[in-house]
Chain A
Amino acid sequence: MPISDPRQVYFASQYSIDKIIGTFEGSFSAPGATGVVNVTTTSFGTSIPESTFFQGIYSVDNGDNWNRFNNDYGTDPISPDLDVYGYSTADVFVVTGRNNTFDSSSNFTVLYKVALIAKPDQGDITPQPIGSNIAFDSRENYLKIIEDEHTAISLGAGASTSYRVPHNLGRFPQAMSYLELSSGVGALTAGLYELDSVLKYLSADNVVNEGGAGATSSGLYLTTGDAVVKIKAGATAFAGELYVRVYSDD
C-alpha cells in the first residue's frame, strides 16, 4: 500500500534519498590582490570517476562559524569580502575562493567541508569514507525523493529556456537544482555546479539572473504543482545538463 503522506514517516524504503558517497574537508588560503578580485582554487581527488551532486560549507574563523557554499562573507553582503563555491568533475572536486577586497594585505584562511551526493544518473562508483560509522539514524527525517529529472540544455546568446518538472503534490515541496556545464563559460570552467553558483558567477554577461516578478529572473521556482527552472542566457551561449530533484517533504 502506498504511503498517502510521506511526510509522516522519517524514512520509507520505497523512496530514494540523498545518498552521500563521500565526505571531504581541507583548507586553503584566499589572499587579496590590489585592484582586482583575486580567485584562488584548491582541489582534492574524489576517487569517483564522474561528477556528483554535493553540498559544502566553509569557515573563515577557524571553525567558529560555518557558512554554506555560495553564502557571501563580510559585513556588507552587497559587497562581500569573500565568495566561496565548489564544483565537481570526474575524479576531482574544486573549491574556489574569490577575495573581493581588492587589497593585497587581505587574506582568508578558508576551512571547508564537502559531502558528495549521488546524482540520478550516477554510474558505477566506489563509495568513499564518510567520516562516520553511522550511515543511517532512524531518529532523523530523510528527505524522500519523488522526482529526479535532468535534461540537456543549450542556449544561444540571449535565448531562454524553462524546464518544468511536475510533482503534483498540491503544496510547496523541498527541491534542489544543479547545472553541469559541458564546457567553460565566462568565469566558470566545465563541471557540475549548484545552480545558484552558475547564476551568480555568470550573471555579469552570461546569464540573466535579475528581472522581475518571475518573468525573466533565472532560478528555481516552486509552485504547488511544479518545480520550474528558468534560465536566460546573456551575451554568451552555453550548454550543459540541468538537474532538478524534488522531495516529498515540505
Chain B
Amino acid sequence: MISLSGVQFGSMFAGLGNTQTVEHSQDFTVVSLAAGASQSTDVTIPVERGETLNRLQIRLNGLESEWRPITSQFNFYNNSSVPSATERISVFPGMDGDNVVLFVYRSNLTGSARNMTAFTLDVKIRVMRPPF
C-alpha cells in the first residue's frame, strides 16, 4: 500500500498517454426549417484507433464562446429559458469503428417556419492510449 499524496509520477502507475490530437471544424449554414421540423447531420472524424479513452470537446462557435468537454448528449437552446427558446441544437457523440461520429440535430421549436442560426461546430479530440 502506498500513499498517493504528493506523487506527481511514479513508475508503478501507468499514465494515460496521448498519441493523437485531432481538430475539426464544420460550418452549419442558415437553413429554413418548417414549424417543428428538424435537421440532422452526421459529422464523421477519423481517428487512429477507436478502442481508446478519447476525450472530446466541442464549441458552437458563433453561438457560445466556451468549449465544453462532453461524453454524452449536449444541448444548446438559443434562449436562457427553455419554454421561450426558438431553436435547439443537440450533439450526440459516438464511435463507429475508428471514426468519432457526432450526430448534430437542429430543431425549430416554434410554430412557424424559421431560418435557423448559422454556427461552426469546432471539435477537439484527444486520442488517449490506455494500457489495455
Contact pick for A210, options B3, B14, B72, B77, CB 8 Å = B77
Inside 8 A of A154's CB, which chain B residues have their CB?
none
Q: How far is the CA of A197 from the CA of B52 in the complex (A)?
A: 19
B91 to chain A, nearest CB (A): 9
Check B15 against A71 for contact (C-beta < 8 Å): no
Is A25 in contact with chain B by the CB < 8 A criterion? yes
Is A209 in contact with chain B by the CB < 8 A criterion? yes
Inside 8 A of A19's CB, which chain B residues have their CB?
4, 7, 9-10, 13-15
Q: What is the total of A-B residue contacts with beta carbons within 8 Å?
A: 220
Question: For the complex, would chain A's binding face be called helix, strand, loop or mixed by DSSP majority?
Answer: loop
Q: How far is the CA of A21 from the CA of B13 in the complex (A)?
A: 6
Query: Using a Cβ–Cβ cut-off of 8 Å, how many residues does chain B contribute to the interface with A?
Result: 65
Contact pick for B126, options A132, A174, A177, CB 8 Å = A174
In B115-132, the 8 Å CB interface with A consists of: 124, 126, 128-132
Question: Would A69 and B18 be within 8 Å (CB), given that A113-B130, A125-B2, A174-B55 are in contact?
Answer: no
Is A140 in contact with chain B by the CB < 8 A criterion? yes
Other than A55-B16, A140-B19, give 7 A-B pairs with Cβ distance below 8 A: A57-B51, A66-B95, A77-B105, A143-B18, A211-B81, A213-B79, A250-B21
Show the binding face of A for B, using Cβ within 8 Å: 11, 13-21, 23, 25, 55-57, 63-73, 77-78, 113, 115, 117-118, 122-127, 130-132, 134-137, 139-143, 172, 174-177, 194, 196-197, 199-200, 209-217, 219-223, 249-250
Among all A-B residue pairs, the 4 with the closest Cβ atoms: A140-B17, A215-B80, A212-B77, A77-B92
